[in-house]
Amino acid sequence: MNRLEKSSLRLREHRQEQYRHLYFLVERVLSAYLKVAELAPIAAMQYDRDFPQQNTLSRVSLDYRIDIERATETALEGFPALQKAWFDLADNGKVSAALQRSIVTKCGRAYKHLDPNVYFGRGRAA
């Protein structure tokens, strides 16, 4: 294998690793988005003091949902087919490989600061 082939192979491996990183980031963000979207609104009263409601929509989780929606709109602006595919991917995880790759590459960069592990772990959830 000559130098050019080795360089090409390293570049291809680097791109594959970047894609894997973006794929797992998008997967975490979509999963967190769905969990936040299913949260109940903040309750005005608590019916059972022994079992407090833990899964309510807080200001932080609402901010997170808005941040994801804005980042997604910006990343997929001008691509209505990808916008629809994003919701399909979020709901059931089934879209074509080409659409999934487009969503991951476009949204992955936009979600850089929306990783739920980072977003909720940096003191915002306090």
Q: For the chain, what are the domain ranges?
A: 14-38+55-124
| Residue 113 identity (one-letter amino acid) | H
**pLDDT attached to residue 126:** 38
Assigned token pair, 19 = 């894609």
CA 104 to chain centre: 9
Q: pLDDT, tens digit, for every residue of 8-18?
A: 888 888 889 99
**pLDDT attached to residue 59:** 82
Q: How far apart are CA 96 and CA 81, in angstroms?
A: 12
**pLDDT attached to residue 51:** 57
Assigned token pair, 122 = 């940096």
52 pLDDT band, cuts 50/70/90, is: low
Tell me phi and psi for residue 96, to 5 degrees: -65, 155
Q: How far apart are CA 69 and CA 85, in angstroms?
A: 14
Tokens 């109940």 sit at which residue? 40
Question: Does the predicted model carry a pTM greater than 0.95?
Answer: no
Q: pLDDT, tens digit, for every residue of 66-102?
A: 999 999 999 999 999 999 999 898 888 789 999 999 9
125 pLDDT band, cuts 50/70/90, is: very low
